[in-house]
Chain A
C-alpha cells in the first residue's frame, strides 16, 4: 500500500499523466466545439486515426514536424467537412454519419499507409518531437519536471484549452456558436447563418481532433500502426459529457483519465497476484463511475443532434 502511495508522489508519474492526457485534450476540445454548435461528431475515432497517419506520413516524406501537424489538421478538417455536409445541410442522422466517418477515415488511413509505405518486419520510424525544457521554469523542482519538460504539442494542447474557453465564453463568435447549439432558430432570427456556423464548427473541431491523433505518431511514438488510437476518440466523447461541455472541466477530465491510466501501469509492477487485465480495466471503470457522479447535473446543449431546417420547427 505504501508503494502505491509513493508512486503518486513521483514527478515521473505526473509527467506521464500530462503526456497521456495530451491526445485526449485535443480530442475532447474538438468534440466539445462540434457539440457546442449542436453536432455530435462520432467521426472522432477515425479522424484521430487519419491525423495520426497524415501527420506521420508528412514527416516520413521529409516534412518538418510542425508541417506534419498542420497537414493532420487539414486532413481532419476535410473529414469534418464531409461529416458537416451530411449532417448540417442534408440533416442526416449524426450518429450514422459519424460512425460512417470513423469507418471511412480509419480504413482510408490504413489503406493509404499500406499503399505508400513499405513495411518490413518493423514499421518505419521518424524522428519525433523531443521534450523541450522551458528555460528557467523547468528548473523548478517537481513542477518543472512535470509541467515544463514536455514535448511541444503538449504545450499547444494546454494553451488551446484557454483559447477555446475564452473563445466560447468571451467572444461574439463563441456566443454565436453556443446559441447555434441551443437554438439555431434564434441565431437565424438575429441575422446570422446557423448552417454556416455549424459547418465551420465541425470542421475546426475535427481539425483539433486530428491533432490528438498526430500527437501519437509524432511525439508519443515514432511510427504509425493500425489500431493505435485505441478508442481514445470514444473516451473523448464521454469526457465531453463528463465536462458538461466546458473546456476547463474537459481538461480536468482528460487529466483524471490519464492519471488512472498512468497509475495502473505503475501499479502493475508493484502489486502482485492480481491479473493485469483488471488494472487495464480500471481507468474505464473509474471513468464510468465519474461520469455517473458528474453527468447527471450536466446541461446538454438543447439543440444537440437536432438538424436545423430553415422555416421549420
Chain B
C-alpha cells in the first residue's frame, strides 16, 4: 500500500482484559527514516513495539516487513526479518561478557564450539562503523549505563537489523549521552537503517526525528513531519488538551527554615559533599541543579536522615538535625520525596492505603493495632485531594503509573502541611501531564509557606520553579543566584563547576 515502506503496521489491536492498549493502529516506516513515536505513559507505545517485535501477539492486524507479513508472537521471526529492538529495561546479563551478550541466539544451539574470534571481529567492525565503542571482553556489570545501551544497539546490529526500534532510549541517560546517542542514530539512518524511537520528551522528538506519530489512549491521533510542527502543538496532541507547566508567582519569602553550614560527607575515598552551605526560607523553592552523580543523591540521603555527615551542621528552625533518624524527620514535619520512588518511595506490593500511612503509622494505630478504617479514609482523602487516578485505597501500589505514584508520595507528605519539603528529582520519568500536576502541588506548598529544596537535573523545571538556584558540582555547591538572573550559558558554566560570587543573593 505504501511504496518504499520497509515496515508497515496495519490495524493493530491489542486488548489486555478490558483495557484496549492498541486500537486499530496503522503506521509505516520509510527506508532511512527516523520516526518518533510520541505519547504519554500508558498511551500504548511500548505495547505496539512489543507486538512488532513479537513479544506479544496482536488480537487483530498485521505487521509487514518489506512487504512480507511477519508471523505474530515470535521474536525469532522478527530478528530474522531484520528487526532489532533496544528495550527500555536492558535485556542484558550482568555477569556475562559483552561478547556473550551479543552473540547469544545467533548460532545453532547444537554446535559443539563457538566462533569467538569471528564474533569479536564482527563486533569490533560494527563498533567502528557505527561509532559505538565497547570492549567485547568486558563484563556487563562493570559498564556504565551508556555503555550498556551501546551493547544493546550492537546486539541488534550484530543480527543484521535493518530496522531498529528504541524504547525510550534516553530514559536512563544524562543529557550529553542522550545527545550523543541521537547523533549516532542520525548517522545510522543516513547509512540506510530505518529507525523508530519511542519517547515522551518533546525536545528529543523535535531534535532527532524526521516524522512524528502521536499516540494517545492506544490510538494514532496525529502524524506530522517534524519540520512542520512545533513542541506546543505536539504537547497538545499528546495530552489531548493544552498543557502548560504552571508559573511561579511572586510572593513574600519568610525566615530561613533549614540552614546547612560546612556540610561534608566522604564516600568511596572522595568527597560526596564538600563544605556545602545553603539555606531554604519559608515560602521559597531553592533549586539545586547539576549533572547527575555530583552529590545530589548524598545530599538527599543526609537531609532524610539516611546518611550522617562527617562534618558540618544542618539546622531546622534552629535545631540541629544533622543526625536525625527518618522517624524523627517525619515527626518534625520534614517531608521527603525520594529520588527513586520505586525503591524508596513506596512499597509496590502493599496497598495504596498502607503506603499512605506507613510513615506515620502511630497516628493510625491504637493498642498496637492498625486502625484500618481511619487509614483507608485518609488514603481516600489523599486520592481525592491530589487527583490520584486509577487507584482506590485497596489498589496494589505497583499498579499505579509513575505520575500517580508520585502524586501519592507528594500527597502523603503535603497532607501533613510540612514546614520543609525535600523534593529529589520529583518528575523524573513522568509525562507532561503528570509533570504539570507535580509542579502545581509544589507551588501550592510554597504558597502555603513551606520551605522546599528541589534537587533536579531538568533545567527547565529547576529554573521554572525555583526562587533561587545553586549548582552542585563534584560535591561542592555554588553560591545561590536568583532565578531571574539566570541564563542558559551561565547555568551551564555553573554546572561545570565554574562560578563566581558576583550577584549572590
Contacts and interface: CB of A to CB of B under 8 A. Distances in A.
A191 interface: yes
Given A170-B114, A172-B107, A173-B110, A189 B100 contact: no
B105 interface: yes
B111 A183 contact: no
B95 A299 contact: yes
Nearest to B139: A299
Interface residues of B, number: 35
A189 B114 contact: no
A179 B259 CA distance: 51
Contacts of A170: 112-114
Interface string B95-124: 110001101111111111110000000000
B388 interface: no
B96 A176 contact: no
A311 B50 contact: yes
Given A191-B76, A311-B50, A175 B100 contact: yes
Interface in B348-385: none
B389 to A, nearest CB: 23
Interface stretch (B86-94, B184-192, B246-254): B86-94
B94 A172 contact: no
Contacts of B53: 189
B55 A188 contact: yes
A186 B111 contact: no
Contacts of A64: none
A172 B112 CA distance: 8
B471 to A, nearest CB: 35
A225 to B, nearest CB: 41
A166 B104 CA distance: 16
A89 to B, nearest CB: 16
B155 interface: yes
Contact of A311 (B55, B103, B104, B108): B55
A190 B104 CA distance: 7
Given A186-B104, A301-B95, A313 B89 contact: yes
A185 B106 CA distance: 16
A182 B95 contact: yes
A310 B50 CA distance: 11
A178 B103 CA distance: 13
Interface string B108-144: 1111111000000000000000000000000000000
Nearest to A182: B93
A171 interface: yes
B75 A188 contact: yes
Interface in B152-203: 155, 159
Contacts of A176: 104-105, 109
Contacts of B95: 182, 299, 301-302
Contact of A183 (B76, B92, B107): B92
A179 B106 CA distance: 13
B430 interface: no
Nearest to A166: B112
A192 interface: yes
A311 B56 contact: yes
A267 B349 CA distance: 55
29 contacts: A170-B112, A170-B113, A171-B109, A171-B111, A171-B114, A172-B107, A172-B109, A172-B114, A178-B93, A178-B100, A179-B101, A182-B94, A183-B91, A185-B89, A186-B92, A186-B93, A188-B75, A188-B91, A189-B85, A190-B105, A190-B106, A190-B159, A191-B76, A191-B78, A192-B105, A192-B109, A301-B95, A302-B93, A302-B95
Interface of A: 170-173, 175-176, 178-179, 182-183, 185-192, 299, 301-302, 310-311, 313
